Amino acid sequence: MKDNNLMLSVCCITYNHEKFIGEALDGFLMQKTNFSFDIVIGDDCSTDGTSDVITTYQEQYPDKIKLIRSSKNIGAHENMRNVVKACTGKYIALCDGDDYWTDPNKLQKQVDFLEQHPDYVMCCHYTRVIDTNYNTLHVDPSPKPLVHTYHDLLVGKQEETKTATVVYRNVQEISQIFDEAWYLDFNAADKLLKIFATYKTAGKIYVMPEVMSCYRNHVGGIWSMIEADARRDKVINDFNQIIRRFSYRGREKRKLLLLYLKRDILFELRRFRIRKAFDTLRYLI
């Protein structure tokens, strides 16, 4: 249920992020806004000191931070679903516990944009990719404004929309994704959220040309450090879910077919998954 007096909820999921969660929380708490916001954190039964770190912060900011503990490890998707349902702000900002924000005006800038542009359902920005020693692995040297539509996202165009950059409208059309049984079948839940949000609302995603967060590549990261073949398997699984769960026009169907032929089919055939490849091709032809 929404709180009419709360403009935004920060949604953070975490698991064994003892070394990082304090930095994420500092990034939330340093935000300078002319509106009220709260912080909802889901700790997925961490086995390190993550929960202790969060509790220390919560004791200092009892009216700001809400901690949702899992009694057993339920996985990132279930954790995300539980936390989002506890977010009551008009907008939801996302950031995983191992990433962090670097601009104290980030939330203000994004909420201002969404308040002024009702045809956009989500606002993102550029991010810096770092390793555990804070070395920069990638950052765009010349950020420029980007706009992504549902049809862009459908065929894989989602530049500079990493989870820690996302602020989106907390509306029923979007939040219903977390009640879909097939939500758990996806691996890249952040990509699914962006596709679903633009599909259901016909709204667009705006990417601000500013670097306002850091995405951390590290051992234990949910996605960034997965072995290459395993990651490709997950990408192909999500691709097959997408082409079956969403509707698209003839041009997008051709683009999806070309994407599969260019990116995935050789991977499938080299692993003798001929039937699986045939089923995908049949669906797109």
pLDDT at residue 123, rounded to an integer: 98
- Separation of alpha carbons 90 and 108, rounded Å: 13
- Interval 28-52 mean pLDDT: 97
Overall average pLDDT of the 27-46 stretch? 97
CATH architecture of 8-216: Alpha-Beta Complex (3.90)
Burial of 225 (0-12, 13-18, 19+ CB in 10 A): exposed
pLDDT value at 219 more than 80? no
The two tokens of residue 57 are 């912060």
Average pLDDT value for the chain: 94
Whole-number Cα distances in Å, 186 to 53, 124, 238: 30, 22, 6
Q: Please, what's the b/e burial string for 180-210 (b: 16 or more CB within 10 A of its CB; e: otherwise)? A: eeebeebbbbbbbbbbbbbbbbebbbbbbeb
Q: pTM here?
A: 0.94
pLDDT at residue 115 is higher than 70: yes
pLDDT at 1: 60
> Strand pairing partners for 22?
none
Q: How far is the C-alpha of 14 from the C-alpha of 95, rounded, in Å?
A: 9
Q: DSSP state, 118? A: T
Per domain, the residue ranges of the chain are: 8-216, 228-284
Determine the Cα angle at 90 with ends 89 and 95, to 5°: 60
User: What is the dihedral sign for C-alpha 4, 91, 27, 56?
Assistant: positive
pLDDT band, very low/low/confident/very high, at 2 (cuts 50, 70, 90): low
Looking at the chain, the whole-number percentage of residues with pLDDT higher than 90 is 90
Q: Is 140 left (phi over 0), alpha (psi -120 to 50) or beta?
A: beta
Percent of the chain exceeding pLDDT 70 equals: 96
